[in-house]
Amino acid sequence: SKPSFSNANFPTTPEGRTYHLGTKGGEVANRILSVGATQRAELLSKLLDPPPNGGQLFRYLSSRGFLTVTGEYQGTPISIVSTQMGMPNMDFVVRECRAVVEGPMAVVRLGTCGALQPPASLGQLIIAHSSINIRRNPDAWSDLSTASMLPAYMFTLPVQADPHIVRLLAEEASSTMGASNVISGLNATADSFYSSQGRVGGNFDDRNEGLIEEMCEKYPDMVSLEMETFHLLDMARCSGGRVRAAGMCLALADRKSNEMLEYARLEQLEVEAGLAALRALIKTDLD
């Protein structure tokens, strides 16, 4: 039967389960690895310590498709949460995990992204030292006569990742993947995989033909394009120091050559990058 929720301001079940992730206090660790796909959460959960006495890791798959797996990595509690894609889903993950975890939290996102310009290239792990948000501006399409003066896409100021976690991620990823396969730079989180990431096609009036060139010119340090990191860092900024966060992503699309990474190679890179994320999370100083 469906659980009943109370308090429309922050809905929970009588036992304290949240609305989208469905977890409650005691089920989520204060160190969280957020990944973009349920399959990646399953894959990386195999890196956690085997539970004692042949037991099982804690697993909860919510009705909305968010999977939380909680266990330990080298004796430190960790949760792996599948965040799926986009800023609203990242919002659910950060807010609903924050609501059920006590004390300070660290969140690392491991996702996938497009490689925008050198030094970024296909198959690399790209760590965001900071991120901006790129949004389609719907007002530019309005019928008002002033609409034609408005930019079709808007860029925010950058928000910084936690420098301590960024340093740990760079160290750990260099050791699991090789330093030449790891770079860091400015990330851009877009509100679409298509329009605001400069993908062009004939079905919609997206007005984004020069967008990739505009980004590269305006931000020579911008290397990765995806849909979540900015919001994670923005939430951390607004958490009063109670959430520390960083994001990194594997480049599976090359936005200059239009090449895509083979799936078999992605899975191996996910494990190497996932291991680096877990090692960085357990070394993160939360006091």
Q: For ligand URA, which is the closer residue by CB, 71 or 114?
A: 114
For ligand URA, which stretch binds (CB under 6 A), given 4-12, 61-69, 110-118, 149-157? 110-118
Q: For ligand URA, which is the closer residue by CB, 168 or 248?
A: 248
Q: Which of 281, 216, 287 is nearest to 74 (CA)?
A: 281
What is the C-alpha separation between 21 and 59, in angstroms, rounded?
Answer: 12
What is the C-alpha separation between 64 and 78, in angstroms, rounded?
Answer: 22
Give the angle 242-246-250 at the CA atoms, nearest 5°: 155
Per CB under 6 A, the list member of 18, 34, 70, 112 interacting with ligand URA is: 112
Contact flag: residue 97 with ligand URA (CB under 6 A): no
Residues 51 and 43 sit within 8 Å (Cβ to Cβ): no
Smallest separation (angstroms) from ligand URA to the CB of 225? 5
What is the C-alpha separation between 85 and 79, in angstroms, rounded?
Answer: 18
Per CB under 6 A, the list member of 81, 116, 245, 253 interacting with ligand URA is: 253
Residues that bind ligand URA (rule: CB under 6 A) add up to a total of: 10
Alpha helices in 101-247 (DSSP H): 163-177, 211-218, 229-237
- Under DSSP, the state recorded for 113 is E
Smallest separation (angstroms) from ligand URA to the CB of 211? 13
What is the C-alpha separation between 237 and 270, in angstroms, rounded?
Answer: 27
Per CB under 6 A, the list member of 18, 44, 48, 114 interacting with ligand URA is: 114
Around Cβ 205, how many Cβ atoms within 10 Å?
9
Smallest separation (angstroms) from ligand URA to the CB of 126? 11
Smallest separation (angstroms) from ligand URA to the CB of 21? 22
Q: Which amino acid is at 250?
A: L
Contact flag: residue 158 with ligand URA (CB under 6 A): no
Smallest separation (angstroms) from ligand URA to the CB of 36? 8
What is the C-alpha separation between 119 and 96, in angstroms, rounded?
Answer: 36
What is the C-alpha separation between 1 and 156, in angstroms, rounded?
Answer: 44
Smallest separation (angstroms) from ligand URA to the CB of 130? 17
Range 210-229, binding ligand URA (CB under 6 A)? 225-227
SS3 state of residue 70: strand
Smallest separation (angstroms) from ligand URA to the CB of 76? 29
Residue tagged 């939380």 (tokens): 68
Contact flag: residue 117 with ligand URA (CB under 6 A): no
Residue span 168-207 as binding mask against ligand URA, x where in contact by CB under 6 A, dash where not: -------------------------x---x----------
Per CB under 6 A, the list member of 69, 113, 161, 169 interacting with ligand URA is: 113
What is the C-alpha separation between 254 and 126, in angstroms, rounded?
Answer: 13
Binding residues for ligand URA (CB under 6 A): 112-114, 193, 197, 225-227, 252-253
